[in-house]
Amino acid sequence: MSRTIIVSNRLPTKAHRTDNGLEFTPSEGGLATGLGSIYRADGNVWIGWPGLVVEDPDEQQHVIGQLHEDSMSPVFLTDAEIRDFYEGFSNETLWPTFHYFSQYAVFDQHQWEVYVAVNEKFCEAVLREAGPDDTIWVHDYQLLLLPQMLRKARPDSSIGFFLHIPFPSQEIIRAMPWREQLLEGMLGADLIGFHTYGYMRHFLSAVSQLLGYPSQNGMVEAGQRSVLVDAFPMGIDYEKYAELAASEPALKSEQTYREALGDVRVILSIDRLDYTKGIAQRLLAYELMLQQYPEWREQVTLFMLVVPSRDQVEQYKELKEEIDELVGRITSTYRTLSWNPVQYFYRSFPIEDLAGLYRLAEVALVTPMRDGMNLVAKEFIACKGDQPGVLILSERAGAARELSDAIIINPSDMHQVAEAMHEALIMPEQEQRHRMANMQALVKQYNVHHWVQLFMDRLAYSKIKQQTLATT
């Protein structure tokens, strides 16, 4: 039987060391959440890093055993690999470059070499697991070289690649050393998927300008092989979120927050700590809103949840300090004895609490500077059920290509974001319901199951197409 082998840097489950030994909890981030509900089907396996350095062979066996029961197979990374591959090349070179933060990008030859070596390590792990008929689906920027490595070992395998972050203009890619190797690495796949047509266009132009490979209708002629490139906007598990939001624990959590916050209107912001998410800019826009519309003071609270992430990387440490300072300034300037303008939490919350918060919030503020897709926007919509609510969404999130019933803003324009908050707070309920229903219909139909199906069908099609081309 042919299975699907999913490969990503991070597994959807992470191991922690506690006083009682190792514990396993769900991972943060869109990818883990998005694919979380599908990989267990049909004997499929998910290969990736369990989020912790485990060197002791007995402990490794324990982790392997635990994860195996839940259809996962771990790749163990050493401290040095985490520093140079994960924090280094992945998150200090590729992440800033692909999100148009080139000023943060580090170009370090040693980190590049470790990136190549870790991609090879993943390749060996996949080859141990995958049979000749299995379909291999590689995910995201940490593993850009893996499709080509797999292709060399398995010329006939069906290999898909999906990039979960933006693909920037070829002008940006051009600035990177190793640009040709990275593009060739991706082209080892039969099908390369992006969230939007914009990212896909950038990729096709990079491949044409930097490698001289022509393309027609998304089919790239890469030497002896043809590679299909297409856009697949990722969805969420709509039913799971809708059911969760209607469940007893979520309703209870909503009520607890409501009682604690009192009679204020809630604007919600949820992100991993990341400079791409525009968290500091969002705080400045909120501060401006309180200045320009003093009538909202004591009436509104910004409930801001920041999930710790990549805290060993310098830019993330600095951002954390900047956010702490801004929240301190806004709070000390505007708070009263009975009202807090910002409720700021730096930690992760259980999913039931998130669902409770999505229900509680009248407005969701999703204003990234750049974001491949942004699933928080879609989760808010799914959790709203028959409640009204307004989504304020950055035009630079992939999700903005689909969710045109949100209030779409330019996240760098503080005045526009402040206005959008005011507009959201005074929007008539009927209009809110109308826009929300449109967005719900879309998020419900184009859910994560649809996304997987579409990608898999296209992958099968690209294989057939290649075989036809080879025989003609």
Active centre residues (catalytic)? 164, 371
As a dihedral over the C-alpha atoms of residue 158, residue 163, residue 168, residue 171, rounded to 10 degrees, the angle is -40
> Any contact of residue 88 with ligand G6P (CB under 6 A)?
no
> Any contact of residue 164 with ligand G6P (CB under 6 A)?
yes
Beta bridge partners of 93: none
User: For ligand G6P, which residue has the nearest CB?
Assistant: 29
**DSSP string of 48-82, one letter each residue:** EE-SS---SHHHHHHHHHHHHHTTEEE----HHHI
- φ, ψ (nearest 5 deg) of residue 29: 105, 150
With contacts defined by CB under 6 A, name the span among 22-30, 279-287, 289-297, 462-470 that binds ligand G6P. Answer: 22-30
Smallest distance, Å, CB 354 to ligand G6P? Answer: 16
Instruction: List the one residue from 29, 185, 278, 368 that touches ligand G6P (CB under 6 A).
Output: 29
> Any contact of residue 463 with ligand G6P (CB under 6 A)?
no
> Any contact of residue 181 with ligand G6P (CB under 6 A)?
no
DSSP state of 406: S
> Any contact of residue 193 with ligand G6P (CB under 6 A)?
no
Distance CA 408, CA 367 (A): 9
What stretches of 293-339 show up as alpha helix (H) in DSSP?
314-334
Strands 21-26 and 13-18: antiparallel
Smallest distance, Å, CB 430 to ligand G6P? Answer: 35
Instruction: List the one residue from 4, 7, 13, 30 that touches ligand G6P (CB under 6 A).
Output: 30
> Any contact of residue 10 with ligand G6P (CB under 6 A)?
yes
Q: List the beta strands (DSSP E) in 152-290.
A: 158-162, 191-194, 215-216, 219-222, 225-231, 265-272
Smallest distance, Å, CB 167 to ligand G6P? Answer: 12
Smallest distance, Å, CB 6 to ligand G6P? Answer: 12
> Any contact of residue 309 with ligand G6P (CB under 6 A)?
yes
Smallest distance, Å, CB 266 to ligand G6P? Answer: 25
What stretches of 77-145 show up as alpha helix (H) in DSSP?
79-81, 95-98, 109-129
| Residues contacting residue 192 through CB under 8 Å, at least 6 positions apart | 160, 161, 162, 163, 186, 203, 227, 228, 229, 230
**By C-beta, is 31 or 382 nearer to ligand G6P?**
31
**By C-beta, is 10 or 121 nearer to ligand G6P?**
10
Distance CA 370, CA 98 (A): 9
Instruction: List the one residue from 92, 134, 140, 362 that touches ligand G6P (CB under 6 A).
Output: 140
Smallest distance, Å, CB 141 to ligand G6P? Answer: 7
Instruction: List the one residue from 136, 165, 366, 383 that touches ligand G6P (CB under 6 A).
Output: 165
**By C-beta, is 31 or 146 nearer to ligand G6P?**
31
Which residues form the interface with ligand G6P (CB under 6 A)?
A: 10, 28-31, 140, 164-165, 309-310
